[in-house]
Structure 1
Amino acid sequence: MKKRNTYIIIGFMLFALFFGAGNLIYPAFLGIYSGSNLALAILGFCLTGVTLPLLGVVAVAYSGASDVEDFVRPVSRKYALLFSIALYLSIGPFFAIPRTGATSYSIGVEPIFGNNLAIKIIYGLIFFGISYWLAIKPSKIADRIGKYLTPALLIIIAILVMASFVHPAGAIGQPHNAATDISSAFKSVPFVAGLIQGYGTMDALASLAFAILVINASKEYEAANDKEVASMTFKSGLIAIILLALIYIFVGRIGATSQSLFSFINGQFVFEKNSIDGGHVLSQAAHFYLGSIGQAVLAAAIFLACLTTATGLITACAEYFHKILPRLSHLAWATIFTLVAAGFYFGGLSELIKWSLPVLYLLYPLTIVIIALVLLNPYFKGSALVYQVTIALTAIAGLYDALSTLASLTELFRLPSAVVAFFTKTVPLGQYSMGWISFAIFGFILSLFLSKLKKQ
């Protein structure tokens, strides 16, 4: 088989792994609020939602790691275990799995039946029941759905995109801040808001787990050594991220031209008197362009996409936790994670997105830095001290952003004013919740200096 065909096959496989409902709802939400600021917001979004996943996959391939723990182990064994647990819980039962149910409900059920608790319970039982059944009963059903689903969903999105150019719902709207926090400041700082919104795709976190599948696929296609594996992974990854970037740009534009489909009350776009999310944007856009049939087809495709994603995540999380705690069977872990995810599902899509922010403010910087360190590994000869000092200082800034966000969400506690002033006024980029960049750079330089002192 020609290498060009191999790159395309693996690239589409990686795209299918990354592409899910979450990759549609965030750019749609970003688009409707950023309006004429769409270009800056999407640029920031693509940096964290596209570039970082590619670097994550390449870094794992380059390192030769066998799993997430192995990849993070240069920091320390205990840290690798804690980080892996936090990562799997985030892309699993705490956020990503319940989000699959909430997204498909928001797009397919709520526009028809409204936000009715009884309907939500029935739908939750059906969705998570099927996901659980597929996860514990290995079957080709999910694979067959996934095989045909991605092309079908892409065709629907392509039709919506073309319709938005031929007969747009309206002109590109005015920018608005979706909320007071920096992650929603699409009018004030659209580039930074886009960067942080890109965290929500969780693709950089998932890339560390998905990379192993890509590496194995590369070896099956006769990549002879680690260098060829890394090269094939990078070139295949480029195909995947170009497709993702195009979808983000055009779905964002659909959102930016859809402001007329919603009411704007008290500084927020609303649907049936409730604040909207990206699911509402896509659903109402589909109804406008394609009518009730188009809306139903989109809802069905999103349902199947979310179902296969939920099944895969339940299986992956159950396998990992069974590995580290084998006393509980794979079945027991799958049951626990399904029940936990179903519980969080009832919070709703908007609440899930909101409450995931504190965790992402901590995990994303740590993920970005470990990816960067692995890629820079030859320049400091894999010194454990460099890994440890850089990660430790990054964690300090990430923990502040996480706690600060949690404080504003819960209003149960306040951080000391001196601490807030230091991180927001003294630390470079701190006012944009990006102070971790300064801490990471300082930590890296300091660790290089300490490493040289240690050798002497």
Structure 2
Amino acid sequence: MKSSKWSVYLTIGLMLFALFFGAGNLIFPALLGMYSGNQLWVAVLGFCLTAVTMPLLGVIAIAYTGAKDAESIARPVSKGYALLFSIALYLSIGPFFAIPRTGATSYSIGIEPIFGSSLWIKILYAAVFFGISYWLAIRPSKMADRIGKYLTPTLLLVLTILVVASFLHPVGDLGMPANASSAVSDSYKDLPFVAGLIQGYGTMDALASLTFSIVVIQSAKVFGAKTSKEVAGVTVRAGVIAAVLLALVYVFVARIGATSQSLFTFSDGVFQLNGTAIDGGHVLSQASYFYLGAIGRAVLALVIFLACVTTATGLITACAEYFHQILPKVSHTAWATIFTLVATTFYFGGLSEIIKWSLPVLYLLYPLTVVIVFLSLAKNLFKGDRRVYQWTIGFTFVAGLYDALATLSTMTGFFQLPSAITHFFTKIVPLGAYSMSWIPLAILGFIIGMVMHVVLGKTNESSKETV
């Protein structure tokens, strides 16, 4: 190693933290804290399992397997599945949800409290925010990197000041827990641990870990790691540093939310501001105004604006590069243009709507991501046998698809699933009542695959290319 080991771990760990740290890492814990109240610690524990532990395992899985990206880590299932999984993942962390969420979050925190929510203000802000992001994405420039280099420490400093102020002069004590809706994902009062687990999906960091990991691996090699063992060692330690920082942010931001209930009115079962249901952006904006005044809120808004711009720029670039790779006839610039326009369109739905519509997709993609990570880490147990991959992923897909469709049915009312299917997944399958039937079904699929591996042969079939 060219540099001292711990300086390398710290440098790469901070870089990985900066890659993960975006809009969702603030708005979800803030709202979780607001609704969980004195159930905060139970909810945060669940949240950290899916929003901290799983991204860390995703990074480790990429390093351990030597995979290049999300598509290659899923290829043992089949080439066709790997392609579809990777496309769905990039669209989710890109133009459909994560990119528009960056614009909506920065608007909710910095613009709406000052200028209001008129359509013309939204249009003007969209032109500025997505225009800058698009310009940076299509013009190779170090501007975004330079902003990011100083941005993360500045944002952490502002958050630290906010956290310290919340301890020295809190708005109030930990409030009473409340369910944001009848859905399991919003049951902060009745099922805080489960609600925290599902809300952790929303950060999308487990999905993003499969694309960010290659950056960490390349950085480890730049710092002198030569063997695969050295690369994996650096990656794991850097991942732990990033995970600890993420967990600290989640705990303290959630606590700010839990002690800030009196800044809002509680009506019709939800916390409101000026008669409208709040989101995590409102929580941070009102809390920063209470603790730091108008100047403090403006500084926080500016820093989050820059953070969201750099995140949006990176996501536009990454998605454009991937789709240009699979469809090279369409240029990188054309893909960047398409994704920016799509993201801008979804931005106008508002932060709450973006979060709501992402939930059915995450109910499907998150379990598939978790399972492929665990299979990658455990592949030596079954010598990479493709049958184990296929049976496990197949059962997980069925359960995840049910949860996604059930959530979509409840949200829209456009269709209703057959009662027999609903009964099976919610009453018969363990954990089904908590929208987690994928866990026992994934285990069942794994067992079937292992039995086939042992009984029918131990050939390493994952090396064979199938569609």
Bin the TM-score by the shorter chain: over 0.9
- How far apart in 1 are the matches of 2:10 and 2:129? 33
Give the drift of 1:450. Answer: 1.6
Give the drift of 1:281. Answer: 0.2
In the alignment, residue 56 of structure 1 is paired with which amino acid? G
Identity %: 67
- Normalised to the residue count of structure 1, the TM-score between the two structures is 0.99
Give the drift of 1:202. Answer: 0.2
Task: For structure 2, list consecutive stretches of 5 or more residues without a partner in the other structure.
Answer: 459-467
- How far apart in 2 are the matches of 1:38 and 1:285? 17
- How far apart in 1 are the matches of 2:221 and 2:141? 25
Per the alignment, residue 293 of structure 1 pairs with: 295
SS of the residue 1:124 aligns to: helix
Per the alignment, residue 99 of structure 2 pairs with: 97
Per the alignment, residue 43 of structure 1 pairs with: 45
Which one of 51, 54, 57 corresponds to residue 55 of structure 1? 57
- How far apart in 1 are the matches of 2:274 and 2:440? 44
SS of the residue 2:33 aligns to: helix
In the TM superposition, what are the counterparts of 1:52-451 in structure 2 within 5 Å?
A: 52-451=54-453
Alignment root-mean-square deviation, CA? 0.7
Greater displacement, 427-436 / 219-228? 219-228
- How far apart in 2 are the matches of 1:220 and 1:139? 21
In the alignment, residue 11 of structure 1 is paired with which amino acid? G
What is the total number of aligned residue pairs between the two structures?
456
In the alignment, residue 69 of structure 1 is paired with which amino acid? E
Give the drift of 1:224. Answer: 2.1
1:312-369: CA deviation from partner (whole Å, max 9, x where unpaired): 0000000000000011000100000000000000000000000000000000000000
1:383-434: CA deviation from partner (whole Å, max 9, x where unpaired): 0000011000000000000000000111000000111011001000000001
- How far apart in 2 are the matches of 1:392 and 1:190? 29
- How far apart in 2 are the matches of 1:89 and 1:306? 18
In the alignment, residue 194 of structure 1 is paired with which amino acid? G
Give the drift of 1:453. Answer: 2.7
SS of the residue 1:406 aligns to: helix
Per the alignment, residue 461 of structure 2 pairs with: none
Give the drift of 1:135. Answer: 0.5
SS of the residue 2:378 aligns to: helix
SS of the residue 2:136 aligns to: helix
Task: For structure 1, list consecutive stretches of 5 or more residues without a partner in the other structure.
Answer: none
Per the alignment, residue 462 of structure 2 pairs with: none
- How far apart in 2 are the matches of 1:453 and 1:3? 46
SS of the residue 1:405 aligns to: helix
Which one of 447, 452, 455 corresponds to residue 454 of structure 2? 452
Which one of 15, 35, 38 corresponds to residue 33 of structure 1? 35
Per the alignment, residue 14 of structure 2 pairs with: 12
- How far apart in 2 are the matches of 1:283 and 1:146? 22
Give the drift of 1:225. Answer: 1.1
In the alignment, residue 260 of structure 2 is paired with which amino acid? S
Give the drift of 1:280. Answer: 0.2
- How far apart in 2 are the matches of 1:248 and 1:366? 24
Give the drift of 1:272. Answer: 1.4
Give the drift of 1:454. Answer: 2.0
In the alignment, residue 376 of structure 1 is paired with which amino acid? A
- How far apart in 1 are the matches of 2:280 and 2:133? 23
